[in-house]
């Protein structure tokens, strides 16, 4: 598994932030809708262990990911990810081996690149927009944080479950997180 270096800055003004990134010469990779199914083990022990399997559709690209992040720090996420040919067969496979399709999620992500760091501006249902920085090292994240004028000490290292908890939602008990349905 590879180590994933990532952090977040919450409650950003998307329009202003995009303007800032454009001024800084960041490369605009566009905005896409992400449709996901999150899988856990049948006993839901993975919730406590902060790991899951995600099946994600982004345009015509479908990826299957195992992610583990017990410590919830900028350098603690571990991930294995690969492309799969379709959405239905991996879903059937995961369910056949005992995993449970626990949550359906949709969000929009507008992606930029700056100094080898990917900046994903994430718009989720019911919470303020935030930006996720992902790079090859914590030093890369700190450099771009400085360039964009954010304070590294004000970052949020928790994943989406913890972002939702910060805004008062019990994400662990939500089964549908879409713009049309939220329960």
Band the pLDDT of 174: cuts 50, 70, 90: very high
- Output the pLDDT for position 137: 97
Q: In angstroms, rounded to a whole number, what is the distance separating the alpha carbons of residues 86 and 14?
A: 32
- In this prediction, residue 103 carries a pLDDT of 98
Span 46-63, pLDDT tens digits: 999 999 999 999 999 999
pLDDT tens sequence across 104-132: 999 999 999 999 999 999 999 999 999 99
Two tokens at 87? 């959405």
Contact 134, 145 (CB under 8 A): no
What is the residue whose two structure tokens read 């949020």?
A: 156
* pLDDT score, position 128: 98
Q: What is the pLDDT of residues 19-36, one digit of tens each?
A: 999 999 999 999 999 999
Return the pLDDT at 167: 98
Mean pLDDT over each residue of the chain, to the nearest integer? 97
């Amino acid at each position: 598994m590879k180590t994933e270096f990532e952090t977040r800055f919450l409650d950003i003004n998307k329009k202003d932030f995009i303007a800032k990134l454009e001024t800084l010469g960041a490369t605009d990779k566009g905005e896409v809708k992400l449709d996901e199914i999150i899988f856990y083990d049948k006993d839901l022990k993975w919730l406590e262990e902060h790991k899951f399997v995600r099946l994600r559709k982004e345009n015509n690209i479908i990826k299957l990911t195992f992610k583990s992040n017990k410590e919830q720090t900028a350098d603690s996420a571990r991930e294995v990810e690969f492309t799969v040919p379709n959405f239905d067969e991996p879903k059937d496979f995961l369910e056949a081996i005992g995993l449970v399709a626990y949550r359906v999620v949709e969000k929009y992500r507008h992606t930029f690149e700056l100094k080898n760091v990917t900046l994903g501006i994430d718009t989720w249902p019911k919470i303020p927009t935030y930006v996720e920085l992902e790079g090859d090292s914590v030093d890369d994240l700190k450099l771009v944080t400085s360039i964009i004028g954010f304070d590294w000490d004000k970052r949020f290292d928790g994943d989406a479950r913890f972002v939702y908890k910060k805004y008062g939602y019990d994400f662990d008990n939500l089964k549908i997180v879409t713009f049309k349905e939220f329960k």
